[in-house]
Chains A and B, each alone.
Chain A
């Protein structure tokens, strides 16, 4: 039966890879089919309808709220001009030194990456940051990669991600935070290395171009001007509260929303802006929330006793227990998290993580190490992820070009993450 489940999983991956089915739909379908194959009844205890669908769908509810709040804050950063002002200041101060500008945009992207993820994060940093970098001579692929590597630096401190790993892997938030703090320096070193090495290797380029800057809707900020300097601290507010003062994730994000609002908005306009950006946040958060509903369903399916019994011997046989082998094998498997592959944390990878924990193959915190490390690769180099596609296209290059340029750096981050995991948790 375990082999049948693996075949079903492979079919699901194929459906995602070939774009026959959107990832979220494929995961729901996988969850239901796996539950049936595992012998779950239609209704009742450990059943398809009551356990997999009814309990699975809201399993990651707290993550969904965190994602929504992060998206809301992201919308506020955009509408109030906070993100744009930060990037503009960076360019003004460091503009005649391309590497300094790139490092500055990297820092801004990291800050934004702590608040929100995916394409909206790339847009917040990239709409101004990419043309600004290109204008000072940074090659387009490097410019797009800088935005993505920067966001990846912020990802270990992205509060919705903490919530996701905490709920999905059934770990306390402080445990997740503890690992993320160890992952952060690896991501930071790789990102800085990317900017320095690629700037050195590729130098600068200037073009006599026929193309003008990409058309985009003029933002409200065009009429509002720059945000005040104290408002620029907004992205740090949730981080300081959650990381420094141990405040829970949702209140930390809410504090960021309130801070952004009161530092940029006149009292009589607050209600309007809050509602407008909140509704805008829903739009931004819709795709990840759909994905988290599907992941919850898949997790509920692979945690059914029948599925665990079927998969345990198979997964145990192929999962390395020796720490050196653990690092080697999972490092070699890094490409499997690209192109919506089976180790994509926001796809079947979440299900595999659930199996590894439920079957007791690795401690949950070791699975966190695997998932978080793969997430660093996926977030930067996957040519199908929305932030990579957006950044590449906005810079005027192909997502594959960005993947090729960034992959060695994020692969090294994953290797570092696996080493930390093996040393500390195996």
Chain B
């Protein structure tokens, strides 16, 4: 997907970024765009409504995020750990200043959002919320009488995690917006 002009980063809606995230997962190849939009909206609403949870995982810092294309990573083994990539976080903060987006992303909020994002992944991985998200998405793959089996929607957890991070950190825009802009800026810089 080609990058939009700089000015349009302000005007593009956050739901569009979530739909784009889903549509780029090959599992969703050929899906009705309206269905993807519905799933993106539902997953976002689900994440935004999640009760705040503390990040119980160990937090470590690394400085090779730009090289690996990562801002944060949650690993469940050997001990649940959130890795924060400090170089990417710094690049994000720089970009926010450069674009004049401080009113959306207050100082230090990207780091907070990263911790919140990964905390939700941990919650969805270990707790019952995963099943609730699946039911909320309503992707029915099998029905036999009263028995209903809801299918997994790849990428929905990621959207929920971003929506949660936006809500609990009080961000003005979705972290998906910042991620897309940052990815674009990094790509432009590499060119």
User: In the bound complex, how far is the Cα of B70 from the Cα of A92, in angstroms?
Assistant: 27
Contact of B151 among A92, A202, A225 (CB under 8 A): A92
The answer to whether the Cβ of B167 comes within 8 Å of any Cβ in the partner chain is no
Minimal beta-carbon separation of A206 from chain B (angstroms): 4
Smallest Cβ-Cβ distance to B92: which chain A residue: A210
The answer to whether the Cβ of A318 comes within 8 Å of any Cβ in the partner chain is no
**Cβ contact within 8 Å between B77 and A202:** yes
The A197-234 residues at the B interface (CB cut-off 8 A) are 200-213, 216, 218-219, 221-226
User: In the bound complex, how far is the Cα of B73 from the Cα of A94, in angstroms?
Assistant: 23
In the complex with contacts A128-B27, A218-B29, A219-B29, A91-B152 CB distance below 8 A = yes
**Cβ contact within 8 Å between B149 and A93:** yes
The answer to whether the Cβ of A84 comes within 8 Å of any Cβ in the partner chain is yes
User: In the bound complex, how far is the Cα of B130 from the Cα of A94, in angstroms?
Assistant: 13
**Cβ contact within 8 Å between B73 and A95:** no
Identify which of B39-47, B48-56, B179-187 touches chain A.
B179-187
User: In the bound complex, how far is the Cα of B163 from the Cα of A338, in angstroms?
Assistant: 47
User: In the bound complex, how far is the Cα of B27 from the Cα of A205, in angstroms?
Assistant: 19
Contact of A209 among B26, B30, B71 (CB under 8 A): B71
Interface residues of B toward A: which range?
35 or more
Contacts of A91 in B (CB 8 A): 27, 152, 154
User: In the bound complex, how far is the Cα of B155 from the Cα of A212, in angstroms?
Assistant: 12
**Cβ contact within 8 Å between B131 and A96:** yes
**Cβ contact within 8 Å between A210 and B182:** yes
The answer to whether the Cβ of A88 comes within 8 Å of any Cβ in the partner chain is yes
The answer to whether the Cβ of B112 comes within 8 Å of any Cβ in the partner chain is no
Contact of A92 among B20, B71, B125, B141 (CB under 8 A): B141
The answer to whether the Cβ of B72 comes within 8 Å of any Cβ in the partner chain is yes
In the complex with contacts A205-B73, A208-B73, A212-B24, A93-B151 CB distance below 8 A = yes
The answer to whether the Cβ of A254 comes within 8 Å of any Cβ in the partner chain is no
**Cβ contact within 8 Å between A206 and B121:** yes
The A109-128 residues at the B interface (CB cut-off 8 A) are 127-128
Contacts of A211 in B (CB 8 A): 69, 183
In the complex with contacts A93-B141, A203-B75, A210-B183 CB distance below 8 A = yes
User: In the bound complex, how far is the Cα of B159 from the Cα of A135, in angstroms?
Assistant: 11
Contact with A along B133-151 (1 / 0, CB 8 A): 0100001011000000101
Smallest Cβ-Cβ distance to B134: which chain A residue: A96
**Cβ contact within 8 Å between B76 and A205:** yes
In the complex with contacts A135-B158, A201-B77, A96-B130 CB distance below 8 A = yes
**Cβ contact within 8 Å between B26 and A203:** no
Minimal beta-carbon separation of A408 from chain B (angstroms): 18
In the complex with contacts A203-B75, A204-B125, A212-B183, A221-B70 CB distance below 8 A = no
The answer to whether the Cβ of B118 comes within 8 Å of any Cβ in the partner chain is yes
Contacts of B69 in A (CB 8 A): 209-211
Contact of A207 among B26, B27, B29, B73 (CB under 8 A): B73
The answer to whether the Cβ of A132 comes within 8 Å of any Cβ in the partner chain is yes
In the complex with contacts A128-B27, A219-B29, A209-B77 CB distance below 8 A = no
Minimal beta-carbon separation of B81 from chain A (angstroms): 10
The answer to whether the Cβ of A131 comes within 8 Å of any Cβ in the partner chain is yes
In the complex with contacts A128-B26, A128-B27, A201-B77, A210-B179 CB distance below 8 A = yes
Contact of B26 among A131, A202, A210, A225 (CB under 8 A): A131
User: In the bound complex, how far is the Cα of B175 from the Cα of A209, in angstroms?
Assistant: 11
Contact of A205 among B20, B75, B130, B149 (CB under 8 A): B75
Minimal beta-carbon separation of A136 from chain B (angstroms): 7
Contact of B74 among A132, A200, A205, A224 (CB under 8 A): A205
The answer to whether the Cβ of A27 comes within 8 Å of any Cβ in the partner chain is no
The answer to whether the Cβ of B153 comes within 8 Å of any Cβ in the partner chain is yes
- Give chain B's interface residues, CB within 8 Å of chain A: 1, 20-21, 24-27, 29-30, 69-78, 88, 114, 117-118, 121, 125, 130-131, 134, 139, 141-142, 149, 151-155, 157-158, 161, 175, 179, 182-183, 186
Q: Which 9 A-B pairs have the closest CB atoms?
A: A95-B152, A203-B77, A203-B76, A92-B151, A206-B121, A211-B69, A135-B154, A210-B183, A213-B24
- Give chain A's interface residues, CB within 8 Å of chain B: 81, 84, 87-89, 91-96, 101, 127-128, 131-132, 135-137, 139, 200-213, 216, 218-219, 221-226
Question: What are 12 A-B residue pairs whose CB atoms fall within 8 Å in the complex?
Answer: A92-B141, A93-B141, A93-B152, A96-B152, A132-B25, A132-B154, A201-B77, A206-B121, A208-B73, A208-B114, A209-B179, A212-B24
